[in-house]
Chain A
């Protein structure tokens, strides 16, 4: 399989190349039609689909066959939102029931993933029983699975039987020296193996599994956790290797490490990357590969659009009481999916036209600017500043607008010196937007307005319900016209 290179690598962090001009080039535009068809309504794989379609994970896979330094198997907290954390373990039967209940209630839900809380392929019976039943009973739901790769080669045959066309492998390194600093042990051939030897076995299995999946025509996305000082310098190489073997998408995610999580990295004080470091690495890798920037690092039992979690509506006792007529639900889902597709297609067309117009305009020579946007989906600005659980970060430059990342409004408290007890939620949210020079929301209240202005972030409530990219570009042009883009901003970048 030939991997298309999405040529959106900007020169350093300062801009973007010609291919993402006007408005953000659809992240998937560079893919061949056969792949695009498979991923265009998958919220985790398609940046524009994630504004419309929802996903869910079922936590049927508790066991794991390796230990990662960013994971703590004791953890189980309803208020935590990160991979590996779940509230309720499900049997395959409960998982099937829950999936159908969610699909009937949230028709935009197109994708069911098994991602843990352990490793799905270290629980083959539970995982495959769930897949087998869902492919029979709910054939309109896409199935996918996420794995550390250790047991992958042995599972490829079975995976291909269940009509799973997407697999995610977490690959943090291709060098055992580095792997030994990430994985303290693996369980392999009836023994616990540690150190470089363990890392080498894991890496070999991951690469073999990747090759086998590609040979079977199964799409592979690669996840990597960026760990500053451990694998940050190495991930461009990982990107190059997995791309050369046929992975279609690379998702570099920031390490989440806090002492209260009780993980090795958390307790030992290993820091996660800054927003800038993550963006720089994603940019560096994007020259080699189609990069994913909208990942929300969701829980292994998340339900809903990316960034939201409606899991509470589908607890075991609640789904017990639901009567689901899946045939009827499927009819309804089909109609809704078609309508969304029509809307997405027209938006894509509109974007392309806007992009053409933009290219015809005289080019600005101003510096790029980061802006934050509050949205709950549909690709428009539609959330009040105070209600935003997360912000999407866009970069506007003379080359156009491109999506950079998302930032959670309720950031994990780092417990560091800048995060004292006196800091309000609002102050924390404003700090989350460090590096941005404007924030676009449907409304901004008086108190945050002042705080934002003082932080050098221009609040803007004038583009409510407008398409994100157009609004960002409009604000950028206003800033340019007002002469704000000639000098470097005071608050931005350096402090981010």
Chain B
């Protein structure tokens, strides 16, 4: 039972201080979760603290390997709109 930080993390430091178990640490190339320490906030908070402040969609996975914040959930940008804009930029 642990969350996982993946490579889309931008190293913004926001998650580390809000972790109730001090399970998150600075590492290269990005922050990591000590799976032995992570409790998924059970007993402390009803929601994952790291994933509640993380600004990057998809950067934190739950123990099932699913993105806690799926595409569009934080920025409000519909994923298809984002894909459209990126395709448009790449065609230039």
A89 located at the interface, meaning its Cβ lies under 8 Å from any Cβ of chain B in the complex: yes
CB contact under 8 A between A267 and B77, given known A64-B55, A73-B55: yes
B42 located at the interface, meaning its Cβ lies under 8 Å from any Cβ of chain A in the complex: no
A131 located at the interface, meaning its Cβ lies under 8 Å from any Cβ of chain B in the complex: no
B53 & A65 in contact (Cβ 8 Å cutoff): yes
CB contact under 8 A between A191 and B76, given known A62-B11, A64-B12: no
Cα of A64 to Cα of B17 in the assembled complex, Å: 12
B36 located at the interface, meaning its Cβ lies under 8 Å from any Cβ of chain A in the complex: no
Query: Looking at A62, A73, A123, A421, which has the most chain B CB atoms within 10 Å of its CB?
Result: A73
Cα of A172 to Cα of B11 in the assembled complex, Å: 27
Distance in Å: Cβ of B71 to nearest Cβ of chain A: 12
Cα of A192 to Cα of B53 in the assembled complex, Å: 7
Query: Looking at A185, A260, A421, which has the most chain B CB atoms within 10 Å of its CB?
Result: A185
A190 & B88 in contact (Cβ 8 Å cutoff): no
B10 & A63 in contact (Cβ 8 Å cutoff): no
B77 & A264 in contact (Cβ 8 Å cutoff): yes
Distance in Å: Cβ of A172 to nearest Cβ of chain B: 16
Distance in Å: Cβ of A295 to nearest Cβ of chain B: 25
B81 & A118 in contact (Cβ 8 Å cutoff): no
Distance in Å: Cβ of A117 to nearest Cβ of chain B: 8
Cα of A72 to Cα of B85 in the assembled complex, Å: 15
B14 & A184 in contact (Cβ 8 Å cutoff): no
Distance in Å: Cβ of A74 to nearest Cβ of chain B: 5
Interface string of B48-62 (1 = CB under 8 A from A): 010011011000000
B11 & A89 in contact (Cβ 8 Å cutoff): yes
A187 located at the interface, meaning its Cβ lies under 8 Å from any Cβ of chain B in the complex: yes
B38 located at the interface, meaning its Cβ lies under 8 Å from any Cβ of chain A in the complex: no
Distance in Å: Cβ of B11 to nearest Cβ of chain A: 7
A190 & B13 in contact (Cβ 8 Å cutoff): no
Chain B residue contacts of A192, Cβ below 8 A = 47, 52-53
Cα of A76 to Cα of B12 in the assembled complex, Å: 12
CB contact under 8 A between A190 and B75, given known A62-B12, A123-B13: no
Size bin of chain B's contact surface: 20 to 34
Cα of A268 to Cα of B10 in the assembled complex, Å: 23
A69 located at the interface, meaning its Cβ lies under 8 Å from any Cβ of chain B in the complex: yes
A63 & B52 in contact (Cβ 8 Å cutoff): no
A67 & B89 in contact (Cβ 8 Å cutoff): no
Interface string of A252-286 (1 = CB under 8 A from B): 00000001101110111000000000000000000
A190 & B77 in contact (Cβ 8 Å cutoff): no
B56 & A74 in contact (Cβ 8 Å cutoff): yes
Chain A residue contacts of B45, Cβ below 8 A = 190
B18 located at the interface, meaning its Cβ lies under 8 Å from any Cβ of chain A in the complex: yes
Q: Which of A89, A190, A260, A266 contacts B18 (CB 8 A)?
A: A190
Chain A residue contacts of B52, Cβ below 8 A = 187, 190-192
Distance in Å: Cβ of A146 to nearest Cβ of chain B: 17
Chain B residue contacts of A415, Cβ below 8 A = 92
A67 & B55 in contact (Cβ 8 Å cutoff): yes
A122 located at the interface, meaning its Cβ lies under 8 Å from any Cβ of chain B in the complex: yes
Cα of A67 to Cα of B42 in the assembled complex, Å: 26
B10 & A73 in contact (Cβ 8 Å cutoff): yes
Closest residue of chain B to A259 (Cβ to Cβ) is B85
The A164-215 residues at the B interface (CB cut-off 8 A) are 184-185, 187, 190-192
B18 & A64 in contact (Cβ 8 Å cutoff): no
Cα of A190 to Cα of B88 in the assembled complex, Å: 38
B1 located at the interface, meaning its Cβ lies under 8 Å from any Cβ of chain A in the complex: no
Chain B residue contacts of A118, Cβ below 8 A = 12-14
- Which residues of chain B have a CB within 8 Å of any CB of chain A? 10-14, 17-18, 45, 47, 49, 52-53, 55-56, 74-77, 81-82, 85, 88-89, 92
Can you give 8 A-B contacts (C-beta < 8 A)?
A62-B14, A63-B13, A73-B55, A73-B56, A123-B13, A190-B52, A191-B47, A267-B81
Other than A63-B53, A72-B75, give 16 A-B pairs with Cβ distance below 8 A: A62-B13, A63-B14, A67-B74, A73-B55, A74-B10, A118-B14, A187-B14, A190-B45, A191-B52, A259-B85, A259-B88, A259-B89, A262-B85, A267-B82, A268-B81, A415-B92
- Which residues of chain A have a CB within 8 Å of any CB of chain B? 62-65, 67, 69, 72-74, 76, 89, 118, 122-123, 184-185, 187, 190-192, 259-260, 262-264, 266-268, 415, 421
